[in-house]
Amino acid sequence: MSTLPTTLNVPADASSLPMTLPRLLEKKRLGEPIVMVTAYDHPSARAAERAGVDLVLMGDSGAMTVLGYDSTVTVELDELLVLARATRRGLTTPFLVGDLPFGSYEISDEQAITTAMRFVKEAGCDAVKLEGGGETSVARARAIVRAGIPVMGHVGLTPQTSTALGGYKAQGRTAQTGVRIAHEALALQEAGCFSIVFEAIPSALAAEIMPLMTIPVIGIGAGPAVDGQVLVFHDLLGIREGLGARFVKRYAHLLDEMVAGVAAYADDVRERRYPGPEHGYSIDEAELRELRAALTPPV
């Protein structure tokens, strides 16, 4: 019987190779920060690809950032599959994780497996993510893993069930809720999840849990002690209105530039500055004479 190596031999130019689960574990072992970002379509996927991120989450947050819903709860599975397929077409090296929408996995193990398989078969995702660390979510994660599909867990603030958590606010700020989050993370790890997202929990709580975690932990508002970080594409690039959550750091303000660009275009059109001669196509003068003759009505 063969045994798996304890270390992974990765070539010097590993950044050009597709990300894999063994490589993610190796990054955790070596203490190399893991970079994750959301993407919801081909352009955002191409940006993530060219930036060299490790993981891309086709998140259900696309319901709000791309589809215009007020929350992630109302988005349909088929809508997210369309976004996931577009994202897949833009990626080569990052590991793609598809977010299972609310109502697509909670009813039964069979439903969860069927939904996960659609993300893999129809959209080309490498793995799926589900929210929560309660008994139901743990059971569904275990079932999907047993069906051969990698699963990423998600504890802390879970937007799909934010109403039950008291809204979009930090979780685990008491000893009791902190212990619950720790137990949920460990239960998901035991269920076979390859990674877990910690969202909006105190940095100190994440630091206390980390020694217990043998799988990569990706934080979003969970401090620096975790193995990697994730931000929403539209948040970090400023392609949205409002300030966003406390943990958001904006690296660009693209919405302002988009508005300015469209406004400048509209102004050029209204003032007849666009299109100019350089934006048009020419026709041979002889062809133009023939065209005019053909269009001239007979006397």
Q: Is 199 considered catalytic here? A: yes
Residue that the structure tokens 């209204």 belong to: 270
CA gap 233, 239 in Å, rounded:
8
Residue 61's nearest CA partner among 162, 178, 186, 195 is: 162
Residue 207's nearest CA partner among 221, 226, 220 is: 226
For the CA atoms of 130, 168, 44, 89, the dihedral, rounded to the nearest 10 degrees, stands at 20
Burial class of residue 248 (count of CB atoms within 10 Å of its CB; 0-12, 13-18, 19+): middle
Task: Find residue 217's DSSP bridge partners.
Answer: 196
Question: Catalytic pick from 106, 131, 184, 199?
Answer: 199
Q: Which residues are the active-site residues?
A: 199
